[in-house]
Amino acid sequence: MVFTSSEFILFLAAVFVLYYAIPPKRQKALQWKILLAASGFFYYMTGVSNLIYIGVTIVTTYSASLVIGKLLDAQEQFVTKCKNTPDIPKTETKAKIKAYKNQNNKKRLFLLTVCLLINFGLLGIIKVNWLAILGASFYIFRSMSYIIDVHRAKFKPLGNDCIIGGLPKFALFVSFFPLIMQGPITRYNETAPALFGGNRFDFQKVSFGVQRMLWGFFKKLVIADRLNVAVITLCNDPEQYGGIYALLAMLFYAITLYADFTGGIDITIGIGEALGIPIAENFNRPFLSRNIFEYWRRWHITMGTWFKDYLFYPLSVCKPMLKFSGFTRRYFGEVGKRIPVHIVTLVTWFATGIWHGFSWNFIVWGLLNGVVIIISTESEPLYRRFNNRFAFTKTAGYACFEVFRTFWLMCFIRSFDCYIGVRTTLSVHLSIITNFGWKKFTTEGLAGLGLTNADYAIVAAGVVALIAVSCIKTKLNKLKDTTDEVIGVRQWLSGKPLPFRFAVYGTLLFGIIIFGVYGFGYNAQQFIYTRF
């Protein structure tokens, strides 16, 4: 059941009606159960085999987290008991506590490791065999962040007080249907209060949520699904469409992926907002980034923070890496301080590539990102001196150049996601230099890519709309309201006269109805990131 299908719209309407039909006094007790039933039904509709895989993740993670929680409770009780025993000397008490903590930590670490191996092993099986298990990467990462946070004692595990009562709630956290398709990768402590706390109907939240969903449908149906036809044509025949057409493929794919992925996230966040459940933002105008660091702080934000918090930082401060860091500092001086960080960076980006897919294309994609980041880090002093020496680096024109440079750098790296095989991708890159094909482009143009001139005009208008909204966001982010919060586009629109608002909403709605890619004979396109 795809977000853009009529079945999903009917399903969502039914969920909203049932969710808010519950009397206010019973909302906390019943609303989350309706969401659990809805999530189970939604995932069942994607395929029965999907339920088996997600069931394994839910049961193993929940069970391991319960035992880890009990071990932490036992440790806390032991420490309290030792400290409240006056007859034992302090030195002896400290030694006993330290020994107990070490033993307790070994047990917890063993359980955590087993759980991680089971679930990441399961994800590896899915990736290696290219199994069509919807959203596996997202719910496994969400589950693993939960058990790691329990191990770190950030919060008590669900079921710590009532074992049976905690399992359904944990199942909802893992399988919450708006998040199952393509994220974001939310954390338990971020979503739990609203997910299980009960939510009364709030007209502004519901209307803002519907507006966000409409914007997502516009991106997906009007831009992404239409332009994807040309992307498939260009990328499936790299021998015919090399040179300038390869550049065109990279540009079209960047637009398609952005409209597709952010469109799906807009729908997800909109559903959550309409239900009173805030969901983390996953994008922040990434194509306005001036360097690769900024780009990855703006693109797929929750994935980046997951790898940073649960892989990069732990690897950076683990005992072997700290020992290695001391070694490199002794023998390589100032440069040696950065060698361990660069190694961890490459490991993290290698893992990020594997997360996207178990193939050389994604591995090379990940490592290329890591290498460019390392080169940029090492070149930082040169950049600084260059920027300090030349005044034009402070101008708007130079800022536009940096945005242009970063955009195309990421397009070239992202092209490993477009073509089949690393060798094919590299040959396409080479064709831009050796066989640009300008004459072919001037004679054939865009006519053979499966789209009409009207399609290109619609896509161009949609892209202009995306740019306009990004410009409005940029301007609004410089403004503050009385509560010192950043003003959003929807909040800004809500302050405009009613005719203006209706004109904007009506244009968006009818734009989807008239220009959206759907209807009889149309097979609703799954979102690109569901395959990851």
Q: What would the pLDDT profile of 317-352 be if each residue is shown by its tens digit?
A: 999 998 998 898 888 888 888 999 999 999 999 999
Q: What is the mean pLDDT of the chain?
A: 90
Confidence band for 79, pLDDT divided at 50, 70 and 90: confident
**Residue pointed to by tokens 């990004």:** 470
Give CA–CA dist 503/214, Å, rounded: 14
Identity at 157, one-letter amino acid code: P
Q: How far lies 85's CA from each of 80, 93, 98, 152, 153, in Å?
A: 9, 9, 16, 27, 25
* pLDDT digit string, tens, across residues 158-174: 987 665 668 999 999 99
**What percentage of the chain has pLDDT greater than the value 90?**
69
* pLDDT digit string, tens, across residues 92-106: 778 888 899 999 999
> Which residues is 486 bridged to in the sheet?
480
Range in 68-82, 92-106, 510-524 with the lowest mean pLDDT: 510-524
Confidence band for 480, pLDDT divided at 50, 70 and 90: low
- Is 403:290 a contact under the CB 8 Å cutoff? yes
Average pLDDT over residues 291-303: 95
Average pLDDT over residues 421-437: 93
* Residue 405: per-residue pLDDT: 96
In terms of C-beta density within 10 A (0-12 exposed, 13-18 middle, 19 or more buried), how is residue 81 classed? Answer: exposed
**Residue pointed to by tokens 């049976």:** 164
In terms of C-beta density within 10 A (0-12 exposed, 13-18 middle, 19 or more buried), how is residue 473 classed? Answer: middle
* Residue 181: per-residue pLDDT: 85
* pLDDT digit string, tens, across residues 434-477: 999 898 888 888 888 999 999 999 999 999 999 999 888 888 87
Confidence band for 523, pLDDT divided at 50, 70 and 90: low
**Residue pointed to by tokens 């260009």:** 234
* Residue 350: per-residue pLDDT: 96
* Residue 486: per-residue pLDDT: 57
Q: Is the model more confident about 80 or about 399?
A: 399
Average pLDDT over residues 283-287: 94
* Residue 531: per-residue pLDDT: 65
pTM: 0.92
